Chains A and B, each alone.
Chain A
Amino acid sequence: MSGHYTADEMMTVAAARLLRNGAVCFVGIGLPSTAANLARLIHAPEAVLVYESGPIGAKPPVLPLSIGDGNLAETADTVVSTPEIFRYWLQGGRIDVGFLGAAQLDRFANINTTVVGPYQKPTVRLPGAGGAPEISSSAKEVLIIVKQSKRTFVERLDFITSVGFLNGGDARERARLPGKGPVAVITDLCVLRPNDVTRELEVRTIHPGVDRRNIEESTSWAIRFAEDCGETEPPATEELRVLRDLKMRTAVAHGDPGEAA
């Protein structure tokens, strides 16, 4: 056991564990980048981190604050142009895992990062797509890391920016999307995976100290729990040490105590 840890640390550790060694991973900035780099420093030293700004095989010594920080280019195996990263490497089918965040997510793991409210008169204008639509469709698999609340886990998306399983069932296969879609959603409360048939997200493991009511109250739809739903392995001492060390080094390097958004 490892003593005290935060829900955010549990989320990052749980997400990092799902990135296998040697995987070629297209990494979004923020939480996905933290989890992917944690994996690289612990159990996946051969993971190839690809950032949409062009670095392939980046090994940043501290977490990048933006998607195109200089330390990504300096530590990469190669740096290619933005058109090349999307054309040859992502659309070309060379990405094993796409690692994404989300502003809103529905039960079939479709993602909205565009608007809250009507498109023409939004109540909140979000940043938009970035590389996510093509990552979610072309990466062989997708991992999504997002904090869980009624605001993020919504009944109906205001806009589908990036597709998960569309309306569920075999909708994604019928749409002929190249990749197989989200394989897991990691939150600060639990790990969810799509049901094999309906493709609706089901809670597979619950983080220690969280109960089913917490999860139900943080979800806008009637969330399902897998029959074999268990407990997430708590963070090991080593996992926490490496994560905290990485974040401390990052804060010193960027002159800021906060985490990258």
Chain B
Amino acid sequence: MAEWTSLSEAVSALVRDGDTIAMEGFTHLIPFAAGQEIIRQRRKSLSLIRMTPDVIYDQMIGAGCARKLTFSWGGNPGVGSLHRFRDAVENGWPGPLELEERSHSDLANAYVAGAANLPFAVLRGYTGSDFMQVNDRIRNITCPFTGEVLAATPAVRTDVTVIHAQKADWKGNVQLWGILGVQKEAVLAAKRAIVTVEERVRTLDAPPNACILPSWVVTAVCEVPRGATPSYAHGYYDRDNAFYRTWDRIARVRDRFQDWIERHILQTRDFDEYLRVQRDPQIQAVYS
């Protein structure tokens, strides 16, 4: 059964240095508050997995939380580069970052394999590309029935998966809707799962085919309103496109990035205080 806790307690109890962690959300419902709490608690040597690293992993990589990144598309959507990710890959700053590079289709399939407790994913992909030359975990397999050669890639299994959802009931049953990404699979592929939600409700009153994660596949559930901003939560708030553009300026320069992390994350107590700093026009004037 999921336990209702504060985000700070959930990260403290469930995320350990060196863990393999997936934080999913395909543009939508990205668990930013949780990512920042991991930075705040100064977790190190994490093996991060995420289809689209986005600004959330740019912050974590730049802050020195990551040892390895498994991903399939690493950009700032609608804006351009992830500068902290690029600085880590191109210059090894703030430390070397091992890459395991795959495609969206591969990682989506690999999460399904993880959720299904299978050792590998099988897909028709990568033929003719250079991926196998740089990632020896992408291999060929021959279909025993047709002889067709397919790609086999290792399942994604995580120590901890973190997602954000719209709501959960008092027992910790979680509901999400809109663009669902791979969140359900990522939770089912995890040993421990942390879910932050927009609100805690008495009952979900969900229709029979709604996307529900039953309380007993979730370890901790935390009420964190606006916990996905600057991404969006369908039905609650829109994507903060201006922040994604501002991030390009913040992350482009190491000093500016470090100053931002210090002021917004390391010197704030929790996400509520982060939101207050983020809304303070005097502080923000420095970054725009």
Contacts and interface: CB of A to CB of B under 8 A. Distances in A.
B77 interface: yes
B127 A66 contact: no
Given A129-B101, A130-B103, A163 B28 contact: no
B260 interface: no
A65 interface: yes
B242 A255 contact: yes
A47 to B, nearest CB: 21
Interface string A67-84: 111101100000111110
Interface stretch (A6-14, A117-125, A147-155, A239-247): A117-125
A61 interface: no
A166 B127 CA distance: 10
A52 B234 CA distance: 18
A81 B127 contact: no
Nearest to B181: A82
A53 B179 contact: yes
Contacts of A22: none
A33 to B, nearest CB: 10
Contacts of A68: 26-28, 77, 179, 181
A247 B133 CA distance: 41
A129 B108 contact: no
Contact of A131 (B101, B104, B238): B104
Interface string A105-133: 00000100010000110111101111111
A62 to B, nearest CB: 12
Interface string B179-202: 111101100000000000000000
B58 to A, nearest CB: 12
A138 B177 CA distance: 28
Interface stretch (A85-93, A183-191, A217-225, A226-234): A85-93
B181 A53 contact: yes
Contacts of B73: 127-130
A160 interface: yes
A255 to B, nearest CB: 6
Given A66-B78, A79-B178, A128 B101 contact: yes
A218 to B, nearest CB: 22
Contacts of B271: none
A135 to B, nearest CB: 9
Interface SS majority for chain A: loop
Contacts of A133: 103, 105, 125-126, 129, 131
Contact of B129 (A130, A161, A172): A161
Q: How large is the interface on A (under 10, 10 to 19, 20 to 34, 35 or more residues)?
A: 35 or more
A68 B234 CA distance: 11
Interface string B125-143: 1111111011000000000
Interface in A176-194: 176-178
B104 A130 contact: yes
A32 to B, nearest CB: 14
Given A29-B77, A55-B179, A175-B128, A125 B111 contact: no
Interface in B149-189: 178-182, 184-185
Contacts of A128: 71-74, 101
B77 A67 contact: yes
A254 interface: yes
Nearest to A130: B73
A120 B92 CA distance: 11
Contact of A122 (B90, B102, B127, B182): B90
A73 B130 contact: no
B130 A70 contact: no
B253 interface: no
A91 B27 CA distance: 22
B86 interface: yes
A57 interface: no
B239 interface: yes
A147 to B, nearest CB: 15
Contacts of A171: 128
8 contacts: A65-B78, A68-B77, A70-B232, A91-B124, A129-B101, A137-B124, A138-B124, A176-B127
Which 7 residue pairs of A and B lie closest in terms of their CB atoms, listed nearest first? Answer: A68-B27, A66-B77, A127-B75, A65-B78, A130-B73, A163-B128, A86-B105
Interface of A: 29, 52-55, 65-70, 72-73, 79-83, 85-87, 90-91, 110, 114, 119-120, 122-125, 127-134, 137-138, 159-163, 166, 171-172, 175-178, 254-256, 260-261
Interface of B: 26-28, 51-52, 71-75, 77-82, 85-86, 89-90, 101-105, 108-109, 111-112, 123-131, 133-134, 148, 178-182, 184-185, 232, 234, 238-239, 241-242, 244-245
